[in-house]
Amino acid sequence: MIVYLDNSATTRPRDEVIDVMNNMLKIDYGNPSSLHRMGLEAEKKVESSRQIIADFLRVRKDEIFFTSGGTESNNIAIQGLINKNSRAGKHIITTEIEHSSVLNIFKAYEQRGYDITYLNVDEYGFIDIEQLENSIREDTIVVSIMLVNNEIGTIQNLKQIKKIISKKNNNVKLHIDGVQAFGKIKVDIKDLGIDTFSFSGHKIHGPKGVGGLYVRKDVNLDPIVFGGNQERGIRSGTENVPGIVGLGKAVEILRDNFTQEKEKILSLKKYFASSIQEKIDNIKMNSLLDNRSAPHILNISFIGVKGEVLLHYLERFNIFVSTGSACSSHKKGKSHVLKAINLKDQLIDGTVRFSFAYSNTKEELDFALDKLIESVNEIRKITMR
């Protein structure tokens, strides 16, 4: 049995997704920009995917742009917004718990002389609303916030955030990194007045290397990718047609099963969390278990255990988890998110992230739980003196 509990890192594409992609690669391989019939067919498929995604997000079809994934979407949106509005000011705001694809853009702009505010978060990962209110100035042009944190699952209160931004400076553009939220929680992009929203295919059982960006109709971006004007100039380059069609298929299935799958994932998370609480001592839950946290992410610190060691213990039983976030696992430094929520170093070292998918079963979790208890006990026995 393979128990894959690393669904925040990536997900297994659904079989239907693989089938349509296969078809696009083998048969309908036309370039949407070609004038002939094969090009037209490809274009129709891309547009149909765009429609599915727009409907799912309840936005207009011409507000959806395809990209290579979350990182590129964040880059296009944030840089595009800053560059377009740089005459209005050089102050930009983000949080200290963003994904590196956002933080590194801010760092780059910091070097170019922009003034940056990094919002602090509390022990659960919620941003300091008061600090946000006090930070917004006349020359603030962009605020970028991730809706669901990829390491601990915290869902920011966007309604409140948007209200404060509008009150203080209505010209500020709001970018939302929605990669971990997309397909996991309901997002009212229109109601919330979000300007740009990024999402990715491989987090929702679609393919890797494809994602998208919502850009509100009346929002202008300076492009950062130049070429043949595909995606109306926002992201030039021949479209990843198989990827886009696969993403459309993934969203279509998700749309039909959203509530049911979400409920299932949430109940798996709650079951796993409470079982661990019951059976393993000396742990700390870093994810909330109520509706302020995403249904698929469960972050726990095991005292006296190194997260990486636990990960390798579990992989021997074909149980796959993550320490902190997968994207930062190649770096030696400790997770900036766990530091930001003020977790002690010793706890950070022992942190593991379990993330669930619709396809996980209770049997899998019981097996994982068994091996988890066994591994934690053994590691503690070896390392604690």
Give the pair of three-digit tokens for residue 33.
């920009």
Strand partners, 285: 300
Please tell me whether residue 330 binds another protein under the rule CB under 8 A. yes
Site for another protein in 343-382 (CB under 8 A): 382
Please state the closest distance from residue 312 (CB atom) to another protein, in A.
3
Tell me how crowded residue 26 is: count the other CB atoms within 10 A of its CB.
Answer: 9
Number of residues that bind another protein (CB under 8 A): 13
Is 22 an interacting residue with respect to another protein (CB under 8 A)? no
- Tell me, yes or no, if 327 is annotated catalytic: yes
Query: Smaller CB distance to another protein: residue 44 or 344?
Result: 344
Nearer Cβ to another protein (211/324) = 324
Question: What residues does 344 pair with on adjacent strands?
Answer: none
Nearer to another protein, 25 or 382 (CB): 382
Work out how close the CB of 107 gets to another protein at its nearest, in angstroms, rounded to a whole number.
Answer: 21
Nearest distance from residue 375's CB to another protein, in Å?
A: 8
CB 71 within 8 A of CB 40: no
CB 96 within 8 A of CB 121: yes
| Residues 301-320 contacting another protein, CB under 8 A | 306, 308-309, 312-313, 315-316
Length of the chain: 385
Contact 297, 129 (CB under 8 A): no
Closer CB to another protein, residue 96 or residue 378?
378
Q: Does 332 bind another protein (CB under 8 A)?
A: yes
106 sits in which H/E element: helix 100-111
Which of 114, 140, 117, 139 is closest to 128 using CA atoms? 117
Contact 322, 230 (CB under 8 A): no
For residues 298 and 153, the answer to whether their CB atoms sit within 8 Å is yes
Minimum CB separation from another protein for residue 22, in Å? 31
Whole-number Cα distances in Å, 132 to 63, 91, 101, 380: 28, 13, 21, 42
Q: Which of 58, 167, 279, 331 binds another protein (CB under 8 A)?
A: 331
Amino acid code (one letter) for 210:
V
Considering the rule CB under 8 A, would residue 2 count as an interface residue with another protein? Answer: no
Nearer to another protein, 47 or 308 (CB): 308
Nearer to another protein, 87 or 332 (CB): 332
- Min dist. Cβ of residue 383 to another protein (A): 7
* Distance (Å, whole) CA 102 – CA 70: 10
Rounded distance between C-alpha atoms, residue 178 and residue 10, angstroms: 15
Q: Assign 214 to helix, strand or coil.
A: strand
Amino acid at 57: L
In the complex, what is the shortest distance from the CB of residue 295 to another protein, in angstroms, rounded to a whole number? 30
Which residue among 327, 366, 373, 380 is the active-site one?
A: 327
Tell me whether residue 229 or residue 383 sits nearer to another protein (CB atom). Answer: 383
What CA–CA distance (Å, rounded) separates 381 from 385?
8
- Which residue shows structure tokens 């309840």? 58
Minimum distance of another protein from residue 332's CB (angstroms): 4
Exactly one of 134, 160, 257, 383 binds another protein (CB under 8 A); that residue is 383
Tell me the catalytic residues: 327
Residues that bind another protein in the complex, under the rule CB under 8 A = 306, 308-309, 312-313, 315-316, 330-332, 382-383, 385
